[in-house]
Amino acid sequence: MRQRRPNRVTGPGHDGFWEYCAAGELRIQRCDACGHRSWPPVESCERCDHRQLTWQLTSGLGRVVSWCTFERQYYPELDVPWDTILVGDMCYERPLAERLLGWLIVIARDGANVLLGDPGRSYFPKSGVTKLATYNVQTTRELEDREIRETSVYRLAPDILPGAGPT
């Protein structure tokens, strides 16, 4: 049976974050020299290495755009979690699409929620996916042949057949 992750990370930088949380405040570090905001907590600025950081109060509101789950085992006593994987625009070349899709199918069968973002690339799976949402994403003519690209997010079915990849 899989253990649950510890409730919080502690140590340099992190302790200050939890102290503010206990007081009902969500704060992140802001560099006093360059203004860069760092998350997770750091001992010096990620951009300029300045060591004077101020815990800046935030509104506590936000929108989840993306998140990650560590591939490398972060805690030795816990299995690698693979809770949710979001991969964007991986199907524009056959070798990349085939290699990633084979790996993602295995992860989905192990119980992970695998989400694929795709703007209609040639090597996107023709079956074994469920469309969840569609967005108009701004791009540039240097990358695409248009300025707005309709892009959808799909869920990879855990029972996708091995041959259901790019055709």
Residues that bind Zn ion (CB under 5 A): 31, 33-34, 36, 45, 47-48, 50
* Nearest residue (CB) to Zn ion, 50 versus 94: 50
- Between CA 152 and CA 94 the distance in angstroms is 19
Minimum distance from CB of 10 to Zn ion (Å)?
Answer: 24
Minimum distance from CB of 42 to Zn ion (Å)?
Answer: 10
* Nearest residue (CB) to Zn ion, 54 versus 73: 54
Instruction: Indicate the residue type of 51.
Output: R
CB of 61 closer than 8 Å to CB of 80: no
Minimum distance from CB of 34 to Zn ion (Å)?
Answer: 3
* Nearest residue (CB) to Zn ion, 15 versus 32: 32
* Nearest residue (CB) to Zn ion, 34 versus 78: 34
Residue 153 Cα to chain centre, angstroms:
14
| Closest to 79 in 3D by CA, of 92, 68, 70 | 70
Query: How far is CA 60 from each of CA 20, 21, 31, 32, 57, rounded to the nearest angstrom?
Result: 12, 11, 19, 21, 8
Minimum distance from CB of 31 to Zn ion (Å)?
Answer: 3
